[in-house]
Chains A and B, each alone.
Chain A
Amino acid sequence: MSELMNLTARALRDLVADGTVSARELTEAALQRIEAVEPKVKAFLTVTAESALADADAIDVRRAAGELLPALAGVPVAVKDNMCTTGTRTTAGSKILYNFVPPYDATAITRLKGAGAIIVGKTNLDEFAMGSSTENSGYHTSCNPWDLERVPGGSSGGSAAAVAACEAPISLGSDTGGSIRQPAALCGIVGMKPTYGRVSRYGLIAYASSLDQIGPFGRTVYDCALTLNAIAGHDPKDSTSTTVGVPDFTSECGASIKGMRLGVPKEYFTQGVSADVEAAVRAAINRYTELGAIVEECSLPNTEYALASYYIIAPAECSSNLARFDGVKYGLRTKELAGHIGLSEKTRDEGFGTEVKQRIMIGTYALSAGYYDAYYKRAQQVRTLIRRDFDRAFEKYDALLTPTSPVTAFKVGEKADPLEMKLADVCTIPVNMAGLPGISLPCGFVAGLPVGLQIISKPYDEVTLFKVAHAYEQSAEWHTCLAKL
């Protein structure tokens, strides 16, 4: 493989800036790597070779003109296919959008381009980001670069696999209940979900609007911080995007964590966490003590109720968000015309997959007359309790340490029961319910498969999150391990 593609975004950016490598050479290296490993990994739904090379040439022209280049100039990036890209098909992993070509860019895409990043393609996902393995994709299942018979996790499985397979140094995903952190853990890379509202959701095809958040993948903590620098900040086109100022998220990477207080919520080790995963995570937690942090066990007593309340709230929002797919304005339209209502019902039956239909129906049911108080309202009250648990913990601790996923990557087809699949997100869901920032980074291997450590911090305190993550990363060597393909 081209040695270039083993490097971090930070290193590549510097090579382009000082003229050692042109943006075109780097983009060609990425496209060659993609061509070489895609038959095995299947991370992408669309590779945008032509526009990537044109964008790279534009960067090279700017450099030749003596312009000061932006922070990610020339760096190849892969983007989850639920973010709109002008002129490039955007499917959300669904057959219902098999032919949708957006007339506008998502704000995160606009900002990536503004930072000089080169978009090399759109990555696979579980349909409408509903799933934990990419097996719910309407197109294909992506493979885990560490073991091709296993899933990369999901829903942003393609974005995670692409970075783990060195097809791109960084990528974007979206995280509603763990869809960035869980695949990062299963693919042995870093994946970060910012505070709700940090990154504009404009142009992100909605799943559950009060939970969805765009965030970065990278092979290092620093690369994720660098990417978040590029995409974060208020956007008038998303009224839920925060007006809180954007700091330099890399500013504390490398700072000492001596004396910091870290909590270890005991409930996160009881919910089906395998003994091997627990051992790797506990070893990482011990490392924090060695690094000078004050580590204590703590409790988030309502954790066990997070999963049930999530599977009411997220489907309720999805049932509303996905009502727009009706065969009229864009996407699939059934060939069997049968009046206005029939057109919509038939199109939706043909276009949506099994899991998406299931979530639309459970959401519709939870919101329907007579059940609203028992389900939806109660789930929102439980959400308040979950948030209060975290608020209380953060009075005492700077950050919390937990496993990301209770298990390592599972085999394709192994979790055939949809309920069992949903339990894979038990450690990540509470973070979305409370709107907090969270990160997963590699903390070891079990039988050749990566294990992820999750760190959670206070709202808008991503700087601390990156600082705590970076300290552990640099004390270990997991981030230098690459999957052999």
Chain B
Amino acid sequence: MKLKRVHAFLLTAFMCITLVLPGCKNVEADFNGICLNLGDEPLTLDPQLVYDVVPMRVINAVFEGLCRKDKEGLPVPGAAGHWDISEDKLTYTFYIRKDAKWYNGTSVTAKDFKDAWMRALDPEPQFHEPAYMANLFFCIKGAEAYAYGEGKPEDVAIDVVDDRTLRVTLVQPTPYFLDLVCNSVYMPVNKEFFDQQIFGDVSKYGTEAETILGNGPFMVEEWNHDESIVLKKNDAYWNSDKISLEEIEFKMIKDNTAAINSFKSGEIDMVEVTDHLLANELKNSNSRVETYNAGIVQYITMNNEDPVLCNVNIRKSLSYALDRKTLVEKVVNDGSKEAFGFVSPIVGGHEGKFRKQAGDLFKDNDIDTARKLLKKGLDELGLSEMPKTTFLINDQDISKRDAQVLQDMWEKSLGVDIELQVMSFDAMTEKMLSKDYQMALLVWAADYNDPLAYLDVFSSKSFYNVAYYYNKEFEELFDRSIYETDEKKRMDLLLKAEKIAIDDMAVCPLYFVANSYAVKSRVKGLVRGSSAIQDIDVYWTYVE
């Protein structure tokens, strides 16, 4: 018994001592670095192979494309110092900076870009899988054919004129091409380094800290899988004197409650905030709350070929019956705004924003009209009442939350019975692609900042058109806009096209998603939402 007591005492004393020993990163000293929550383990840090926002946050700091986004989300010179665009807007010539260097000191050449772009397009790559986002290259002449295995690699119109000049020829005038070029799939690769990472029949490029070589403002110092990524400033970067931070640590905290606890305890400097009460709590002397719109739309896609939903009046009635104001203010409550059109408010139009010019295309919570249209639609179909309709949602908590509210609204205002079916996103995609669904709750995030990125959803030629919408007039306007070189005329065509699609209520827009986050007061210049898919930019960040 005595022995046990002594043991217990020693154990307690030992534990107390270890507790008091200082940890290092928590104390707010002269630490010129920040700690952010990445949210999840990146699937890879190979720029050509990523398709998800999580790895892109890191890649945006470690690599740099020909162009990069500025604070407002407009493309500005990156690795390319300047460029020429031909009269017919089909040929772009990029001139790469003299001092653009890889982290290991070697120069960035035009060949590095061509190698990267070709490997992304390669339909049968040997050491890695085909790039998910290769379709972003299809605006380049010969690219699509090559990816389909029908064209030859030599026919792809990417030319290395000399070490620092790259020439690209496009299929049609693509006013948003510079925007595309900022994407991670367009970033360069150092082929020599890449070849050194090949083991057997698999390339380890992008899987560990040692197998990554970037040309961006930071480099990957450590990658502790499932735990953290540590970036250090890259002194070989051409603009490194303008970069203030010395170190960035990305933690991978999946559970947001844990992340919030972590933030409040001072362990991380930024956290996503979804609850408005929490937002109020965090607006104090220690931290501030910011909101940004990343161009994401929450909407309901409807199968326009379904025997019931093919009727435009029924689709309209389902859409008009929803009270988006209540949904956004009382349920979502994070700064998101109601959507009465499909193109996001952050998209630029000809004069100012597209959405501002287009305006709201229908009324919110118009229950009377909804009821009339429902009756009209049912009569046209020869039905006495609306049959039970299935509504697919993915297994995320936000989707379940929103869907329950919508289900309740439809029941109360129209008396229709909507059945929720929860499934994983890929199962849902399978059903949508095989036309085996009625309604589904989706999120649309544009790959580039242009109305086309949104209206693509309604084009019959696009594989994203899971609403199976077809309208001859829309198709005409859409096709004409692709070849229109005059900016104003093009926008007018696109404005008209959106109006047609929404008048037909091909899909039912719900709200434009805003994200809120809390950040510590000492962190300044953190830019978020300059692009839908690369949503954290640490270029201008500094610490006080």
Do chains A and B stick together as partners? no
Chain A residues engaging chain B, CB cutoff 8 angstroms: none
